[in-house]
Structure 1
Amino acid sequence: MDVSKSEPSKNGAVQRACGGCGEVITERYLLKVLDMFWHEDCLKCSSCNCRLVEAGPSLFIKSNLILCKKDYLKLFGHTGHCAACNKTIPAFEMVMRARTNVYHLECFACQQCNYRFCIGDKFFLCENKILCESDYEERLVFANMAVHPPSTATLAHIKRQVIHLQPQVMKLDASEF
């Protein structure tokens, strides 16, 4: 884009030419991007042509392109793979994270009973699998039984013993990849 020259107005004030259309900006407020001034309607994403004033509070500049967040991530963002389904996750998609694992929102569920977590739910990462609290406790009970087979103990007795174990609890939190 070319930088247009400013022209003085009749009263001596400097007028600014728009970096998009080249016309003089007569509005009271100026948008300044890449050391140029813009009309609100002229400041558009170089990729999808959406008005950046409406696209949100931020815009991105790379290789002299002015981009909305979605197109910036499409063009320059990193993609990853879902730890549950192993399919590609586009850079602009919302994801769930558990330690170093990243998941599609729809894949973030108990990998034993398929319970879909809600914000604030407890979940457990056990052997790199996400489990709900109930399935995690059940797994602990059976793991304990494998190591220490019960002679006369009941399942309820073993569960009471396992409750005293303090696993690392994680809370659900949405983020962008």
Structure 2
Amino acid sequence: MTAWVSASSKFATLRSRYHPILPFCYFTLKASRTALRFRNLVHKGFILKPETLGQHLLSRRLLLKLTQKEVATRLSTLREHYERWERDEVEPTASFWPRLISFLGYYPFPLQSPAGWVLMTRRLLGLSQFAFGRRVKAIAKDVREWEHGSSEPPHELLAKIQQIAAPLVGKSPM
């Protein structure tokens, strides 16, 4: 009788660790919530090192757990427009850039050249090439050439452009 009781108690302890889906398995799998959330984000399309504007927008939207319609409403645009930006089908117009940068919380492209500075400053201000040229006292053709890297702005003008951009980098229009 004693042997039966000890076998019974041994079975009771095994039964307390018994998993209903895997009856032959007596161990528990554990994972942190962060790891599971990250795995879920990656499954939905989250990109750890985004390169295009669309990848940046998609990753930020998934991180905030927002739908495309909710983001479009925040940016004051149509869901269809936002969807096309996220898929990298079209580039947003100049007036949307300040809101996009505010939504992302950073400027999504590297500033490795004067062309990058000119383009970032123009996008932060939300100006067309013509309007930006008037602001820095240059013609639109020059601004276009600076952005494409076919020519560089004079050093004094580049310093002025960087001065214009400096206070805007941390500022949020939304």
TM-score normalized by the length of structure 2 = 0.30
More strand by share: 1
Which of the pair is proportionally richer in helix?
Answer: 2
Alignment TM-score, normalising by the size of structure 1: 0.30
